[in-house]
Amino acid sequence: EADIYQTPRYLVIGTGKKITLECSQTMGHDKMYWYQQDPGMELHLIHYSYGVNSTEKGDLSSESTVSRIRTEHFPLTLESARPSHTSQYLCASNGDTWSTDTQYFGPGTRLTVL
Amino acid sequence: RKEVEQDPGPFNVPEGATVAFNCTYSNSASQSFFWYRQDCRKEPKLLMSVYSSGNEDGRFTAQLNRASQYISLLIRDSKLSDSATYLCVVLYQKVTFGIGTKLQVIP
């Protein structure tokens, strides 16, 4: 089993609220990712980080922001949630070497914005 | 052209059938290849890595064809529990996921 965790698992919140989705891993992985996925649809990379103080935007434009102050922690923040942000958000990580380049996923946060 | 291409399906097959999925990739310098399985409303989970020599894990066989730039997944003796979406993943500097192929095994 992968040691990567996400909280909360489910979040229902009103429009305009600020939210932070937490992701942490205890595998010492330098690389971490955030994906967005609607039901039955493909994964879209929205943010990634290759190490502390490194963050990049992914292939899909997102109004969310991320930070990477510690290796094990990669939170995602929405300053003002909107119904269009309703989706599942999946965090993943992997190492740098050939033996650790497999990407492991957290269980996801299912976000509903009313 | 997408970096990783998969037929989204769905593939509807009877129990006990053999089913094969292909996935093509565009970057010839790609280094690592994987198949993931994703159940409905769950996170993707690693099914198997794909090695140049091909590899087998029980009823599942994965193969890599670098010359034609595709990987394949063969599932023998399909079970109802194999119903899921199978994601092809390619690594070259960054990880790229295919759209996934949906498999439905029918009783």
| B69-104 pLDDT, tens digit each | 999 999 999 999 999 999 999 988 888 999 999 999
What lies within 8 Å, CB to CB, of B18 at 6+ separation is: B74, B75, B76, B77, B78
| CB < 8 Å to A98, chain B | 32
Is the pLDDT assigned to residue A97 strictly greater than 80? no
For the stretch B2-20, pLDDT in tens is 899 999 999 999 999 999 9
Is the pLDDT assigned to residue A38 strictly greater than 80? yes
Q: Do A48 and B99 touch (CB under 8 A)?
A: no
Q: Return the SS3 of A71.
A: coil
The answer to whether B82 and B73 have CB atoms below 8 angstroms apart is no
Report the alpha-carbon distance of residue A58 to residue A31 in Å, rounded: 13
Is the minimum CB–CB distance between A101 and chain B shorter than 8 Å? yes
Best mutation site among B43, B50, B94 for testing chain A: the one with the most A CBs within 10 Å? B43
The model's confidence at residue A1, banded by pLDDT at 50, 70 and 90, is: low
Q: Return the SS3 of B82.
A: helix
What lies within 8 Å, CB to CB, of A97 at 6+ separation is: none
Distance from CA of A67 to the nearest CA of B (A): 19
Is the pLDDT assigned to residue A2 strictly greater than 80? no
Cβ pairs A/B, distance under 8 A: 38
